[in-house]
Amino acid sequence: MIAVACNYGFASAQPEKDEEIYHILQKGYISIKGQTNIFDFTGKAIQHEGELKEENGKYTGTVILRFNNLDMNLPYAKKVLNDPEYMDANHYPIIKILLDNFHPEEAPAQVNGALTLHGITHPITIETRFNYISPVVAIEGKLKISQSSFNVKPYNWGVVKVDDALEIIFRVFFCEDHKGMPEYDMISQAEIKRLFEEYNIKILIEKDYFGCEELKKK
């Protein structure tokens, strides 16, 4: 399990809504870890896409990584990603992680979902940690996959061979924004300070906007 500080903050009671949408912030990362028969390797992306939707008390989130934003310390990494015999990223440019049917206030240790890779989707179980300080949902997750189950041939060159198993670790932040102040109190000054100190996320409380500064700038 990923070691993180988890101090949970909860929003006050909110009126019922049909659907809420949280937009992803560019504060987190997605990492891919693997091994060869000689050394370990990692790939890390700090640019990603996705959103979190709440409907009738349950949440569904998507996180998308594009291979062209993935920085890998693996020799010949571009060939590994783009070669049609292997990952074929030119035709299958994304990894998509689905997190389904959960509520962040419950801080589930596991979330069921699906992973799409190389044009193939398989159900997955993701180890998770949550920090929910409305309007921000912070999620850390970890899952293991085999490349061959997605019809990806593990790459090899010379005497170096990449193992079939890969580990995907991610840390993502979603934020709900409001055009105008909501009618209910969503966050305390102490929580605003903690979000900034722990995650460098700045919350704006203005007459015409409530939410994360990063989203207002878009």
Which residue ranges form the domains of the chain, and what is each CATH number?
19-177 (2.40.128.110)
Which H, E and C letters describe the chain, residue by residue? Answer: CCCCCCCCCCCCCCCCCCEEEEEEEEEEEEEEEEEECCCEEEEEECCCEEEEEEECCEEEEEEEEEHHHCEECCCCHHHHHHCCCCCCCCCCCEEEEEEEEECHHHCCCEEEEEEEECCEEEEEEEEEEEEEECCEEEEEEEEEEEHHHHCCCCCEECCEEEEEEEEEEEEEEEECCECCCCCCCCCCHHHHHHHHHHHCCCEEEECCEEEEHHHHCC
Return the pLDDT at 2: 31
Supply the pLDDT for residue 18.
55
What residues of the chain score a pLDDT lower than 50? 1-16
Q: Quote the pLDDT of residue 207.
A: 83
pTM for the model: 0.85
What pLDDT was estimated at residue 179? 79
Give the pLDDT score at 124.
97
